[in-house]
Amino acid sequence: MISRVAENCYWLMRYVERCDTMARLLRVHAGMMLDNVLPEDRTWLPLLIVAGEEPAFEERFGAEGVGDGELVQKYLTWDDSHSASIFSSLRSARENARTIRETISLEMWNTLNSLWLWLGEDETREMFDSEREMFYHEVNDRCHLFRGVWHNTVLHEEPFHFMRLGLNLERAGMTARILDLHHHALSEASQAPTEAVDAVEWIAILRTRYAYEPFFKKRRSALGGRGVAEFLLQEESFPSSVAYAVARAQQALERIRPEGSVIGLRSAELLNVLRSTVLNLDVGRAIDSNIHGVLTHIVEHTAELSQVISEEYFHAAVSAPAVGSARSVSDA
Amino acid sequence: MLERIDSLPREEFRRRKELAEETFLRHGVTFAVYSDEQSGVERVFPFDLIPRIIAADDWRLLEAGLRQRIEALEAFLGDVYGPGRCMSEDIIPREIVEGSSGYLAEVRGIEPPGGVRVHVAGIDIIQDPAGSFLVLEDNLRTPSGVSYVLENRAVMKRTFPRIFEEAHVRPVDDYGLRLAEALSELAPNGRDAPRVVILTPGPLNSAYFEHSFLARRMGCELVEGRDLFVANDKVWVKTTAGAQPVDVIYKRIDDAFIDPEVFRKDSILGVPGLMAAYAKGNVTLANGVGNGVADDKAVYPYVPDLIRFFLDEEPLLGQVETFICARPKECEYVLANLGSLVVKTVDEAGGYGMLIGPQASKQEIEDFGSRIRANPRSYIAQPRIELSTAPTWTGDAAAPRRVDLRPYIVSGRSRWVLPGGLSRVALREGSYVVNSSQGGGSKDTWVLDDSVDSPAEAKR
């Protein structure tokens, strides 16, 4: 398929995933505030960090802005001056989709465009003001709907696999990033037994990744840092775990690469390394030594992967086959 | 049919209109307006729910005239870039042809596959008060708007399913397939299963919706200039599996931008080396390069003579009397009668650079007069034709509004005319301007089929 279109496919799903994750993070954190166990700045700062927006936000609103939940929520939902807000992610997703409408299905377009139009309606703004939980809920639901529509209305061929690659790399990186936000809590928890405050935080992390119920189905052990980290990193049957997402990304790349292909060698190799890093990780030991380092490494590894995929598939230096290739011969 | 629509309660009609507009918006059937803001606001092309209806007999006449006109213009282009008989035999002055901004000397001697240059034509037609069809303008480069024809039809079917069932309306849905077939059969060296791509300036272009729409309907890929490159005088597309050969390019980019090595050097939309590949016969370009000379408004007055010359036939379609300002005598007449004429700039489209004398202020007329004096070659003038009207919904009732019609003609090894076309309507009362950029809208165009007796048969 055309390289530029592959890039649009890849980013379309990344942006939808980002939009979904941000809405989910905001929703969970707002709920956490209701439990009233953490100071405001400790609740909202992590969101700015995960969005990569901490410096920009502080520059604009000062350090005290971080304690202003309303300000942070508006910034991460509506502000179009940076790329991490729900609004900006969705705009980028929709622009990618519009660019490759001939590639995606009509149903995908309709679902995504409806979400975009909905976000721009006055009633939606009112809903944000008065029924915030419902607003974020709606964004999440519509993202789920989009992915369902996607899965069931396109050919599961190359464009689909590039979308899958984008979605899963975004997911893997995001899960590692969210865990990393809590690396202090993880390290501390290994020293002392779980307290109520910690429990709220663990539950918040799980819920952010739609992992609350799955976690308890899978692990009947007590709620704790190590269990949560293991689950989100290594649980091979949970869609938002790093291990699961990386395995799916690997599958997608295998479908994209014909066997023995010289294109995509580095991407395949990097994915292999990432997968075994994650699966072979001794989470307990990492928590005792340097969990932050491990998580940072995973985040950076996914970023590098994205870079290499771009170099190998989207912006590769392409030259015409040498004269004498099959096509040239048949032309003669 | 109109009575059926008329019998709907007003409220019901309004509700259906809202539904239709919502569908357009949700489907993204929009064009971007760049004059408002930097970002390009997306607008829905205003749509009128009352169809424009053309009787089968009228259509037969029009279709025959269109076929004849395209055949002649095709021959004219082949001649202009070939032997040049029409000029040496004084059918049309050489300076009109070679002085046209659409005439590209680089194309001389290039013989396109199948000899076809006008793969897609959109001919703007008006009806005079007596009902005769007149050609107002030829569009032989990249006529746009066909996506609206197809989308309008889809929305009409959804909005008025019952009424549609009873009408014997000829379908338009196969446009994409017809075009894809026509282009495929003109691939270089008669290649089997050729790779056909649509070349777009990109998602920021106001007609991007149409480019993307056509890619879907034709089942081919949509590419930008940067996706393509030329090596060994052949065109290649960059794919995730390396370079792949391209056989046919349906270009939706102005000729001036297609190859920076030959035309505008600053173009980042085009493909360096494309013209060389074209000249070698290694790629089919649709429409042909240099077609602009044949739809130049200064060439238009000669088309009836060109039909007689190339086909040895009398023109079947009339056209509007035209004064050419490049001719001193006619220019004098135009300047003396600006208040009653419509003056057009020869190489502008979209209703820009136009003076409608009867509606213009004294100041506007004077300004236009001095522009004509400064550069007479750029202007032509026509008497204002009373465009025929069609019933149009105005918000609470139907009222007559002026309409034109752009039928589309697709040419491959054979020629096909889309039954219908884009009916554009001047929505403002009293207005003559039908362009979407200036308050125009569109209607579905129903060409009736008289070869069937029952609705059931008509649907087949």
- Tens of pLDDT, residues B158-207: 888 888 778 889 999 999 999 999 999 999 987 889 999 999 999 988 88
Task: Tell which residue, B261, B250, B237, has the closest CA to residue B289.
Answer: B250
Question: Mean of the pLDDT values across residues B247-270?
Answer: 93
Question: Is A258 near chain B, with CB under 8 Å?
Answer: yes
Token duo for residue B457: 């048969």
pLDDT at A39 over 80: no
Are the CB atoms for A31 and A200 separated by under 8 Å?
A: no
CB-CB under 8 Å, B203 with A263: no
Instruction: Name A229's Cβ contacts closer than 8 Å, sequence gap at least 6.
Output: A179, A186, A283, A287, A291
Distance of CA A269 to the CA centre of its chain: 22
Residues of B within 8 A of A119 (CB-CB) are none
Closest Cα to residue B248, out of B257, B232, B237, B264? B237
Q: What is the mean pLDDT of chain B?
A: 89
Tell me if B405 sits within 8 A of B139, measured CB to CB: no
> Cβ separation of A319 and B243 shorter than 8 Å?
yes
Q: How do residues A122-133 score in pLDDT, each as one tens digit?
A: 999 999 999 999
Contact A255/B at CB under 8 A: no
pLDDT of residue B109: 94
A158 interfacial to chain B (CB closer than 8 Å): yes
The C-alpha R_g of chain B, in whole angstroms, comes to: 22
| C-alpha B431: how far from chain center | 21
ipTM of the prediction: 0.86
* Closest-CA distance of chain B to residue A122, Å: 16
CATH T-level fold of B321-383 = Dna Ligase; domain 1 (3.30.1490)
pLDDT higher than threshold 90 for residue A79: yes
- Whether A24 shows a pLDDT value over 50: the answer reads yes
- Return the closest-CA partner of residue B324 out of B303, B307, B308: B303
Prior bond of B287 cis (ω within 30°): yes
Considering only CB atoms, which chain B residues are within 8 Å of A316?
238
- Mean pLDDT within B414-419: 97
Instruction: Tell me the residues of chain B between 287 and 306 that have a Cβ less than 8 Å away from chain A.
Output: none
pLDDT tens readout for residues A150-209: 999 999 999 999 999 999 999 999 999 999 988 877 777 666 555 666 788 888 899 999
Task: Give the pLDDT mean for B347-360.
Answer: 74
The answer, for A105 touching chain B at a CB cutoff of 8 Å, is no
Res B70: pLDDT: 98
**pLDDT for res A332:** 30
Considering just the CA atoms, what is the radius of gyration of chain A in Å? 21
Burial of A4 (0-12, 13-18, 19+ CB in 10 A): buried
pLDDT tier, B36 (very low <50, low <70, confident <90, very high otherwise): very low
> Rounded CA gap, B194 and B188, in Å?
9
Question: Which residues of A are less than 8 Å from B213 in CB distance?
Answer: 101
Hey, are the CB atoms on B26 and A102 less than 8 Å from each other?
Answer: no
Please state, as a whole number, how many other Cβ atoms lie within 10 Å of the Cβ of residue B394: 14
Given this model, what pLDDT does residue B108 score?
A: 96
Every domain range in chain B assigned CATH 3.30.1490.270: 321-383
Phi, psi of A321 (to 5 degrees): -60, 150
**Residue contact B243–A6, C-beta within 8 A:** no
Query: Per the structure block, which two tokens stand in for B232?
Result: 């060994």
Q: Select from B26, B224, B234 the Cβ nearest to the Cβ of A4.
A: B224
Mean pLDDT, chain A, rounded, equals: 90
Min Cα separation A159/chain B (Å): 10
Average pLDDT over residues B30-37: 59
B247: closest CA of chain A, how far (Å): 12
Closest partner residue to B215 among A6, A102, A109, by Cβ? A102
Residue A272 has a CB neighbour count (10 Å cut-off) of 13
Domain ranges of chain A: 1-153, 156-317
**Close Cβ partners of A142 (under 8 Å, ≥ 6 residues apart):** A111, A114, A115, A118
Q: Does A330 touch chain B (CB under 8 A)?
A: no
* Digit-coded pLDDT (tens) for B6-21: 777 888 888 888 888 8
For the cut 50, the answer to whether the pLDDT of residue B37 exceeds it is no
**B 155-214 residues with CB below 8 A of A?**
189, 202-203, 208, 212-213
> Residue B235 is inside which H or E element, if any?
strand B234-239
- Read off the pLDDT of each residue in B344-353 and give the average, rounded to a whole number: 68
What mean pLDDT is predicted for residues A10-38?
90
Count of pairs with CB atoms under 8 A, one residue in A, one in B: 78
Check CB contact under 8 Å for B240 and A331.
Answer: no
* Yes or no, beta carbons of B236 and A101 under 8 Å apart: no
> Which residues in A lie closer than 8 A to residue B245 (C-beta atoms)?
327
Confidence band, pLDDT 50/70/90 cuts, at residue B437? low
| CB crowding A145-155: b at 16 or more within 10 Å, else e | ebbebbeeebe
pLDDT value, residue B200? 97
**What would the pLDDT profile of A237-259 be if each residue is shown by its tens digit?**
999 999 999 999 999 999 999 88
- Look at residue A316 and tell me whether its pLDDT is greater than 70: yes
Return the HEC string of B376-437.
Answer: HHHEEEEECCCCCEEEEECCCCEEEEEEEEECEEEECCCEEECCCCEEEEECCCCCCCCCHH
Dihedral angle computed from the Cα positions of residues B160, B166, B171 and B172, in that order, rounded to the nearest 10 degrees: -30
Residue A34: Cβ within 10 Å count: 8
Tell me: pLDDT of A325 over 50.
Answer: no
